[in-house]
């Protein structure tokens, strides 16, 4: 079955950096899926952070442009999120997700059928 396993979360001070990883298994072909990072803060809905498409093009949420970078390794079947200059408002549970849809919208959580368990990111002032 499909498994997505996130790692790399933790607690950092504002201005610090973290790199999240998502190891994928059970997908028929990793490079035929659009991969995404989403986050959910307490009392808020799940929001899209970044997507990387099959052709390696990317979309970032406005709130993280210039600070976050999404990338994928199609040999190791791993999705990454490099997070720099972290801010307290970045505090959330971060999830990776996969969809066979070719052009999902970054705000369309429902288009992603496969999800990891999440990794917590906490940024202090």
pLDDT (average), residues 18-42: 96
First-to-last C-alpha distance (Å) of the chain: 40
The strand pairing partners of 100, in sequence order, are none
pLDDT at 113: 96
Tell me: the pLDDT tens digits for 53-81?
999 999 999 999 999 999 999 999 999 99
C-alpha to C-alpha distance for 50 and 24, rounded to whole angstroms: 17
Quick one: how far is CA 64 from the chain centroid? 12
Range 27-32 contact pairs with CB under 8 angstroms and sequence separation of 24 or more: 27/2, 27/77, 27/98, 27/114, 30/72, 30/74, 30/77, 31/72, 31/74, 32/100
pLDDT at 104: 96
Give the HSE-up count for residue 59: Cα atoms under 13 Å, Cβ half-sphere.
Answer: 15
Report the chain's mean pLDDT, rounded to a whole number.
97
- Using pLDDT thresholds of 50, 70 and 90, give the confidence band for residue 17: very high
């Amino acid at each position: 079955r499909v498994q997505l396993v996130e790692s790399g979360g933790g607690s950092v001070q504002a201005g610090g950096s973290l790199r999240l990883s998502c190891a994928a298994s059970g997908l028929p072909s990793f490079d035929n899926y659009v991969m995404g990072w989403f986050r959910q803060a307490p009392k808020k809905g799940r929001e899209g952070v970044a997507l990387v498409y099959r052709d390696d093009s990317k979309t970032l949420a406005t709130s993280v442009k210039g600070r976050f970078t999404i990338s994928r390794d199609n040999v190791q079947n791993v999705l990454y999120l490099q997070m720099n200059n972290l801010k307290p408002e970045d505090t959330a549970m971060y999830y990776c997700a996969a969809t066979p849809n070719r052009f999902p919208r970054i705000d369309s959580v429902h288009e992603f059928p496969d999800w990891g368990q999440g990794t917590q990111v906490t940024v202090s002032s």
